């Protein structure tokens, strides 16, 4: 698996760093069993969603840091739902990370992820309009 614990936006904590901060060092590091591909994908997906929907935080009544965390949690849940079982998560993430290198697959995947984002963060008060 590829080792990559950084994300592209400066001064932004990775999902794993956020988990360690929230859960404590022992519990947070115990999640290493999910694999570097899982954590890389959570960071990659949440960063990509943030870039596309950066103006949604105020609509969701979230601060920038809360919005970033919520996107990481959403990406985490999305990946876990994609894998058929918890045991297959690491293998699924390895395959997905490689498959996302294919431009056509990547475009279709991001469309699916965007629809899932819209459904997950849908705000009823937005007069039935999707977020930005």
Query: What's CA 6's distance to the chain center, in Å?
Result: 14
Q: Tell me the C-alpha distance between 25 and 68, whole Å.
A: 21
Determine which helix (DSSP H) or strand (DSSP E) holds 23, and give its type and residue range. helix 15-23
pLDDT, residue 122, reads 75
For 105-123, write each residue's pLDDT tens digit. Answer: 999 999 999 999 999 987 6
pLDDT, residue 60, reads 84
What DSSP designation does 130 have?
Answer: P
Match 């009823």 to its residue by tokens: 124
Output the average pLDDT for the chain: 85
pLDDT, residue 124, reads 60
In the predicted model, is pLDDT for residue 82 greater than 90? yes
């Amino acid at each position: 698996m590829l080792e990559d614990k950084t994300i592209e936006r400066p001064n932004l904590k990775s999902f794993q760093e956020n988990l360690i901060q929230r859960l404590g060092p022992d519990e947070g590091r115990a999640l290493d069993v999910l694999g570097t591909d899982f954590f890389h994908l959570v960071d990659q997906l949440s960063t990509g969603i943030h870039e596309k929907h950066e103006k949604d935080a105020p609509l969701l009544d979230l601060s920038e840091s809360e919005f970033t965390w919520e996107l990481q949690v959403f990406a985490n849940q999305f990946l876990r739902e994609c894998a058929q079982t918890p045991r297959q998560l690491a293998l699924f993430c390895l395959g997905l990370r490689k498959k996302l290198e294919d431009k056509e697959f990547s475009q279709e995947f991001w469309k699916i992820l965007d629809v899932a984002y819209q459904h997950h963060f849908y705000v009823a008060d937005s007069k039935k309009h999707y977020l930005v």
